[in-house]
Structure 1
C-alpha cells in the first residue's frame, strides 16, 4: 500500500479512570508530556481532552485547555492538535423523574462545547454525531446543536473530525453534507466497540466504509481488547488508525500499558509489519487538506 497512514493518539479521554488505567495522565502537565512522547513515537495527531484536577473526570475548563496546548507547543510546533468537543453531551435521567438531570449530567448549550476551540483554534476538533446510551448516561447530540457547533468550528478555521458510533450517525452526516452544513471532503473517525454502538468486527467496519461519501478520509478504532485488532483492520481496508489510553488500558492481555507512547510504538510496529508506513505531521496535513499555520 503506497499511501501513508495517519496515526492519531487519543491521550486520555473522559471515561477511562486511573483505577482502570494506573498510568493514565490527568493534569495538563501529564497529558502534555504523554502527548509529546506519543508524537516522538510516531503519532502525527494527538487527540486531547482535559480533566478536572480534583475528580479526574472530563472537563471543559478553558484554562486547562490553554495550559495543555501551551505546554505542547512550547516543545513541539509540528504535531497536529485535535481537541475534543464531546464534553457537555451527557444526560443522566433521574430515576424519580427522568426528565430531570441527575448527578453526572453535563448536557449544556452547544456554544459552551466549542468555546475552547474558538479560543485556541487547533487545526482539528471532533464533532460527535452520536445519540446513544453510554455507560450510565445518554449521549445527546441533536441536529440543531450539531449545526450550531459546526458553524462555529468552521468560522474558527478548524477542520471537524466527524465521529460516528453507528450507521445512523453516518446517515445524519450525509444529510448535513446534502444541506451544505458539513463541507467535503470529510474527515471521519469510526468508533467501534462501545456498548450498544457499532460492533468492533471486520464486517461492521467494512459496511461503514462502503457507505462513506466519495473522497472521505477516514480512520477507525476499537475499544478495549479490540483496539489493536481494529487498528490492523482499518489499515487493511485503506483507512487511517488511532490508538491511545482513551481507548485501551492494556498493551497486551493482562498487562497495563505504561504510556501512550508505548501504545503508539506497538501501533507503528503493526502498520510496519503489514507493509505500511506512518505519515509525518506535514504529510498528514497534506492528506487531510489542512493548511499549515
Structure 2
C-alpha cells in the first residue's frame, strides 16, 4: 500500500486509563476533578477528543462507578474549553483465573458484568463517543483475559447505535478488525465508522511498522482510524499514524514519559504530538470539525 498522508488530523488524549500507572507517576489523574482538569489541559494543548476512564479517588484503582463518570462529565461540560467526550465502555470484562492447575474459582479480582451494566454510565452521562473493544485477548502477564464475546459485542454495538453514541472500535489485532467488519455488515455499527488501532499491548499486535501497516491495510478506506502505541514507542506513532492516513492518540493511559526519565503531563504529550503533526505539514482540527466529520451528537 502506498502511503496516503492525512492532512486534517485530530488528536485524542487518553488521560488516565485503567492500568497500574497511578502508583508510578503522580501526574496520572485519579479524582474526577483531576481527570476533568487533565481533559481540559489536553484540549487547550490541541486535543479534540478526551478518552475517559475513572479511578477510585483514594487508591487510584480503576473503577466503573457511574457517579465518578457523571462528575467528570459535568466538570468538563462546565469548563470554557470545548472537547469531544469519549468514555470507555470496556470495563467489566476482566476475567482472572485462579491458577494454572486450579483455574476455578476465578480470582476475586475478576470484574465480569453484563452488557447493560457495562453500558449504564454511557446512558447516564451521554458522551459523544464510547469505546467497543472488539475481541478477547490474553492481556499482559499471568492469568488475565480481557473477555469480549461476539454475543456481548453485538449487544453493546446495538446499544450504542440505538442510543446515538458513536462507537470507537478498539482493535488489538487483525482478527478483531475482521469481527468489526462483520458488525458493520450486520448493521450493528453505522457509518461513519471510527476505529482505534491499539499497538504494542501485550499480547495483541506488536508495534513494529510491518504489523502496523498490515492493520492499516485491513481498515476499509471509508473508515476513519486513529492509532497509538504504548511505552517508549508512543511518541513515534503520531508520525506513523499520520503518514498512514490516520489520526493520533497520546496520553498518560499509554505512556508516562515526555522524554527519557522525565514524567509527562497529558498537556505535554499533546503539545509534542501537535508539533510532530504540524511539522509534517498537516493541520490539527478541533472538536467541532471532528463532530462534523464523525456526525457526533453533542448532548
Q: Smaller-chain TM-score range?
A: over 0.9
Deviations 1:131-183 (A, max 9, x none): 11113411000011111111111222100000000001011111212222222
| Structure 1 position 99, deviation (Å) | 3.6
Helix, strand or coil: the match of 1:114?
A: helix
How does 1:123-202 map onto structure 2 within 5 Å?
Answer: 123-135=128-140, 136=142, 137-202=144-209
Q: 2:80, 2:62 → 1: CA distance? A: 24
TM-score, normalisation: structure 1: 0.96
Equivalence for 1:21: 25
Helix, strand or coil: the match of 2:18?
A: coil
Q: 1:77, 1:274 → 2: CA distance? A: 26
Equivalence for 1:274: 280
Residues 117, 156 of structure 1: 8 Å contact kept:
no
Helix, strand or coil: the match of 2:167?
A: strand
Equivalence for 2:110: 105
**Structure 1 spans left out of the alignment, 5+ residues:** none
Helix, strand or coil: the match of 2:127?
A: coil
> How many pairs does the alignment contain?
292
Q: 1:215, 1:64 → 2: CA distance? A: 36
| Structure 1 position 207, deviation (Å) | 1.1
Residues 118, 153 of structure 1: 8 Å contact kept:
no
Deviations 1:241-275 (A, max 9, x none): 00000000100122111x10011011101111111
Q: 2:70, 2:45 → 1: CA distance? A: 24
CA RMSD of aligned residues (A): 1.4
| Structure 1 position 86, deviation (Å) | 1.2
**Structure 2 spans left out of the alignment, 5+ residues:** none
Deviations 1:45-86 (A, max 9, x none): 000000012331111101000001101111146310000011
| Structure 1 position 2, deviation (Å) | 7.0
Q: 2:294, 2:162 → 1: CA distance? A: 18
TM-score, normalisation: structure 2: 0.94
| Structure 1 position 103, deviation (Å) | 2.8
Q: Which moved more, 1:130-139 or 1:187-196?
A: 130-139
Equivalence for 1:118: 123
Equivalence for 1:7: 11
Residues 16, 246 of structure 1: 8 Å contact kept:
no
Q: Does 1:35 align with 2:42?
A: no
Residues 92, 105 of structure 1: 8 Å contact kept:
yes
Residues 93, 148 of structure 2: 8 Å contact kept:
yes
Q: Does 1:224 align with 2:231?
A: yes
Stretches of 4+ aligned residues off by more than 6 angstroms: none
Q: 1:238, 1:175 → 2: CA distance? A: 23
